[in-house]
Amino acid sequence: AQKVTQAQTEISVVEKEDVTLDCVYETRDTTYYLFWYKQPPSGELVFLIRRNSFDEQNEISGRYSWNFQKSTSSFNFTITASQVVDSAVYFCALTNAGGTSYGKLTFGQGTILTVHP
Amino acid sequence: DGGITQSPKYLFRKEGQNVTLSCEQNLNHDAMYWYRQDPGQGLRLIYYSQIVNDFQKGDIAEGYSVSREKKESFPLTVTSAQKNPTAFYLCASTRQRGAQETQYFGPGTRLLVL
């Protein structure tokens, strides 16, 4: 069975602060994919990043960066110099490539990020 | 513009009534998915379809039904057997089947029970 845990239910920061959203996953497969999605108040999930289990390079995209560590089964997401527009619910998710692979996403509970001006 | 559309945005269901949520994509994607989101929770998979005329149950299929007669369409029916249907429903699609594919989501339908 696979599981994704986002221990931080809610985070509140002031604009320009850096913030890290934690994601810990469990899976028995050696090949898997990790994702982050953003859900703004409108409700639609917006894809942010996909990472496969063989690529442990950290990634930076503008103010966003991701730290993938297989040794601790974590895939954390950092927003640098946060802005009010970053306020949203953020989901970490996992798919396995093994067995009857059909791309089922297992989601964490989500972290509500509020950035105050 | 290419994308996924869901309608209606809000849907109200009376007791004992079946309702159908629409999901259409013009991305020429092979696979489509339906998820349910409850307040403060992550998404849970209801049904998925990897090709036309074929679909499979997800984790919480009871009380729901789907069809996939056309590649671009994957409607979800919430039947009267679903005792707690109030939730936010999201449709997604991927270019091909498989775990490596990124799922892209529609804007969602919010279902409320009268």
3-state secondary structure string across A1-48: CCEEECCCCEEEEECCCCEEECCEEECCCCCEEEEEEEECCCCCCEEE
Mean pLDDT of A102-106: 79
Residue A66 has pLDDT above 60, yes or no: yes
Give mean pLDDT, residues A70-77.
Answer: 95
At residue B1, the pLDDT reads: 62
pLDDT score at A59: 85
Find the angle CA(B52)-CA(B108)-CA(A43) to the nearest 5 degrees: 140
Both tokens assigned to A81 = 């110099």
Query: For residues B40 and B49, what is the distance between their CA atoms, to the nearest angstrom?
Result: 27
Would you call A104 and B48 a contact, using CB atoms and an 8 Å cutoff? yes
pLDDT single digits (tens) B55-84? 999 999 999 999 999 999 999 999 988 889
d(CA B32, CA B103): 9
Q: Does A3 touch chain B (CB under 8 A)?
A: no
A85 backbone dihedrals φ, ψ, rounded to 5°: -70, -15
* Mean per-residue pLDDT of chain B: 92
Determine how β-strand B109-113 pairs with β-strand B10-13.
parallel
For B102, the closest of A50, A97, A102 (CB atoms) is A50
Q: How many C-beta atoms surround the C-beta of residue B91 within 10 A? A: 27
Q: Which residue has the higher pLDDT, A25 or B100?
A: A25
Picking from A42, A50, A108, the nearest residue to B42 by CB comes out as: A108
Which position has the higher pLDDT, A28 or A1?
A: A28
Q: Is A45 near chain B, with CB under 8 Å?
A: yes
Among the partner residues B40, B98, B104, nearest to A101 by beta-carbon distance: B98
Asked if residue A103 has pLDDT above 80, the reply is no
**pLDDT beyond 60 at A101:** no
> What pLDDT band is residue B114 in, cutting at 50, 70 and 90?
confident
Mean pLDDT of chain A: 92
Instruction: Provide the pLDDT for residue A100.
Output: 57
Q: Which amino acid is at A77?
A: F
Q: Looking up tokens 């513009």, which residue turns up?
A: B1
- Rounded mean pLDDT of A37-53? 93
Q: Output the pLDDT for position A65.
A: 94
Name the DSSP letter for residue A72: G
